[in-house]
A = this chain, B = another copy of it.
Amino acid sequence: MDKTNTSSDRIFAKYWIETAFPLDDAAAIMAGEQSTGTFVRVPGETDELRERYAARVEHIVELGAVDSPSLAGSGLPKKHTGPVLRRTAEVTLSWPIENMGPSLPNLLSTVAGNLFELKPFSGLKLLDITLPPAFLSAYQGPQFGVEGTRRLTSVHGRPIIGTIIKPSVGQSPDQTAAQVKMLAEAGVDFIKDDELQADGPHCPFDERVPAVLRALNEHAERTGRRPMYAANVTGEIDQMLRRHDLVVASGGTCVMVSVNSVGLPAMTALRRHAQVAIHGHRNGWGMFSRSHATGMSFIAFQKFWRLAGIDHIHVNGLHNKFCEEDSSVIASACECLTPMFPAPHKGCEIMPVFSSGQSARQAPDTYKALGSMDLIYACGGGILAHPAGPAAGVRSLHQAWEAAAAGIPLAEYAKSHEELRSALEAFAA
């Protein structure tokens, strides 16, 4: 996308499309549907009005043709005869910000509203958005981001080593606190609730969180190290704000939210209220991403949530247990560390969270591809299932990242580092 346009007062959105319509017509239909349009031109729709408020087609880049439609239900141009040529293309549209004002919910309806269902398209995906800095007057963006998360965890010069409380559900508050104590003693920097652990009657938030944070407070007094605990506050708005306050009152430094489950306005409300970091969990993301032909890219998705105020977001991990390719994982993570607005505006960079089947083994590839130590590296089995115990699991991760930073192959570094050697044996590819 043409980044020179970001200083204007227009919003840009780039799409991948697949259509049997002439590309100019297809792009004009998208622009019409998402601004002034209806299927008949109505009396009030003057040329001046169209010039000022209609979405503009900025660029069309034709890509290859496809043999068959990716999605069912699309149509052909009215006067079409002969064989169907179904083209793909990248289309960039733009809107004046005055159409909706700097409002994330209304922006979403504009760039990702009805147009996915338009008849001419057998595929349409939102790839990227570029917003004018006017949005920074209405939204706060991340409060802690990369630097603030490092400050709160006192971890510098290496990734923040994280883990997840498992089993996801079923443990009592005291059992959870005992597991957290064990993980803190093992040297973990960051511990999160599972997204399925919320406020069930067997493990109420109001009992679990003070119990866990008491354990971490005692650990901090004893050792001087305070791991960050991301307490899952996902719920109704009043619940989230109240739970946030309990986290703060109990000495916590982070809350976790399932972003798709709460929506943008709830996140904005939480951010305005927040005194601690907001850990964004993207569960449900598959609905937007699993089809190549509909939904939106993570590049576009995470910009909404960064502006709304998250400090961390999950990006999956290399060689993960899900369907996502490694290249997509790395593109997502890189984007989190890329400014959304040009200097001197706030860039809204956030911490990418790598997780899903991670262990010492993926550290070198992750570092090589990301080119940064600014990440949360979350391991479940990669810590808990280490043959010599969780503390050895954490040490194996430190060693793996030391090796990655120094450009030394893991197998080589493992010769002089016992915990790494065991990890490589235990977590064979």
> Would B323 and A113 count as touching, CB distance under 8 A?
no
Per assembly, the copies of the chain total 2
* Chain B residues with CB below 8 A from A266, complex form: 237, 263, 265-266
Chain B residue nearest to A110 (CB atoms) is B196
Q: Take A38-B380, A103-B236, A170-B49 as given contacts and tell me if A109 and B73 are in contact as well, using a CB distance cutoff of 8 Å.
A: no
Tell me if A38 and B105 are in contact (CB < 8 A): no
Residues of B contacting A261 in the complex (Cβ-Cβ under 8 angstroms): 105-106, 108-109, 263-264
Query: Within 8 Å of chain B (Cβ to Cβ): is A234?
Result: yes
Interface 1/0 per residue, A102-121 and B, CB below 8 Å: 01011011101111111101
> Using Cβ atoms and an 8 Å threshold, which residues of chain B touch A202?
53, 98
Q: Which residues of B contact A385 (CB under 8 A)?
A: 40
Q: Contact between A198 and B42 (Cβ–Cβ < 8 Å)?
A: no
* A153 CB–B CB distance under 8 Å: no
Q: Is the CB of B236 within 8 A of A284?
A: no
Q: Which of B109, B199, B265 contacts A236 (CB 8 A)?
A: B265
Interface of A, secondary structure class, is: loop
Given A52-B170, A71-B291, 5 extra CB contacts under 8 A: A109-B258, A109-B284, A114-B286, A117-B286, A121-B323
User: Which residues of A283-340 are within 8 A (CB) of B?
Assistant: 283-296, 316, 321-325
Tally of contact residues, A, Cβ under 8 A: 97
Q: Does A262 contact B (CB under 8 A)?
A: yes
Interface status of A187 (Cβ within 8 A of chain B): no
Name the residue among A74, A109, A164 with the largest chain B CB count within 10 angstroms: A109
Q: What are 30 A-B pairs with beta-carbon distances under 8 A? A: A36-B167, A38-B380, A39-B357, A40-B380, A40-B381, A71-B291, A72-B323, A73-B325, A99-B196, A100-B198, A105-B236, A105-B262, A109-B196, A109-B198, A112-B287, A114-B283, A114-B286, A117-B285, A117-B316, A118-B323, A119-B323, A124-B286, A236-B268, A238-B269, A263-B263, A263-B265, A265-B266, A286-B294, A287-B287, A290-B293
Measured between alpha carbons, how far is A193 from B334 in the docked complex, in Å? 39
Chain A residues numbered 19-66 whose CB sits less than 8 Å from any CB in chain B: 34-40, 42, 44-45, 49-50, 52-53
Q: Does A235 contact B (CB under 8 A)?
A: yes
The reply to whether A71 and B105 contact each other, CB–CB distance below 8 Å, is no
Contact present for B322 and A100 (CB under 8 Å)? no
Minimum CB distance partner of A205 in chain B: B101
Q: Decide if A169 is an interface residue (CB 8 Å cutoff).
A: yes
Asked if A323 and B40 make an inter-chain contact with CB atoms under 8 angstroms apart, the answer reads no
Chain B residues near A212 (CB-CB < 8 A): none
**Does A5 have its Cβ within 8 Å of any Cβ on chain B?**
no
What's the Cα separation between A103 and B239 when bound, in Å? 11
Contacts of A424 in B (CB 8 A): none
CB-CB < 8 A to A39: which residues of B? 321, 357, 380-381
A349 to B271, CA, bound (A): 35
Out of B105, B168, B234, B321, which one reaches A235, CB within 8 Å? B105
Bound together, the chains give a CA A201 to CA B101 distance in angstroms of: 7
CA distance A167 to B357 in the complex (A): 51
